[in-house]
Amino acid sequence: MSKPRSVIITGAGSGIGAAVAEVFAAAGDRIYLADLSAERLRATATALGGTSVSTHEVDVTDAVAVEALAEEVVADHGGIDVLVSNAGVFDGAASIRDTTAELWEKVIGINLTGTFNVVKAVSEQMIAQRSGRVISIGSIAGQRAMPDGVAYCASKAALEGLVRRLAYDLGGHGVTANLVAPGVVRTGIRATSEEILGNLVPDTNVGVGTSTDLMDLLIPARRGGEPAEIAATVFFLASTGAAYINGEVIHVDGGWIAS
């Protein structure tokens, strides 16, 4: 059996992050669950059980806290093998008219700067150890305007540029950086985003995921995805078989990007 990998997952308290944790835990890896919600972290850790899981109440917009987490992982495991930058919020498909400067800053701060912070915190270690996998969670919104809002679309499109440049910077050091872009996935993102963004965000009960008619029209699979279907691609990108995939955007969206 191969040595357990150290895996940091942000936004691990819910949805896709929790499913990613499950698949790595099943492989016997050492999982570091990070989220700003202690309650959700507890729920994920309890569902996973076992001793190879720890929880870290970290807000990805706090660069100092993120750096401390990376140092803790290195001290505990001796290195950082996989980073899954997944924490994100949905802006309720807010148009330019509905997007205040404050909403813009919040969404860009979590979805884009949050990923910059965690990548910045782990990349020197990955370069030094000459190995590592950086996997970011983007969205169909990186390339399609319809389902989401101004700040969300901008943040997810920017993540694609970030990942391409990371691939260029890190590829010569044995590290890959890729992005998994889901379409509609059945998670609690609408409720958690309302909780985090409060009244900055308009109604989150909008978008393709709330309409079976739109899903039938846009998604060849004619259904939303399950968190485990996104986690399976993340897990593959962390595997030996994916060593030569770098700077790629992989849509896991039931074929939406093709339609």
Ligand X SMILES: NC(=O)c1ccc[n+]([C@@H]2O[C@H](COP(=O)([O-])OP(=O)(O)OC[C@H]3O[C@@H](n4cnc5c(N)ncnc54)[C@H](O)[C@@H]3O)[C@@H](O)[C@H]2O)c1
Sites of contact with ligand X (CB under 6 A): 10-11, 13-17, 35-37, 40, 59-61, 86-89, 110, 114, 137, 139, 182, 184-185, 187-189, 192, 196, 209
What does the alpha-carbon distance between residue 213 and residue 34 come to, in Å, rounded to a whole number? 36
CB of 147 to ligand X, least distance (A): 8
CB of 256 to ligand X, least distance (A): 10
What does the alpha-carbon distance between residue 15 and residue 33 come to, in Å, rounded to a whole number? 13
The phi, psi pair for 114, rounded to 5°, reads -60, -45
Q: Which of 32, 152, 168, 244 is catalytic?
A: 152
Pick from 227, 246, 228, 225: nearest CA to 237: 246
What does the alpha-carbon distance between residue 42 and residue 36 come to, in Å, rounded to a whole number? 11
CB of 111 to ligand X, least distance (A): 6
Helix (H/G/I), strand (E/B), else coil: 245: coil
Active site residue 152: yes
Place of tokens 């260029």: 168
CB of 43 to ligand X, least distance (A): 9
Catalytic residues: 152
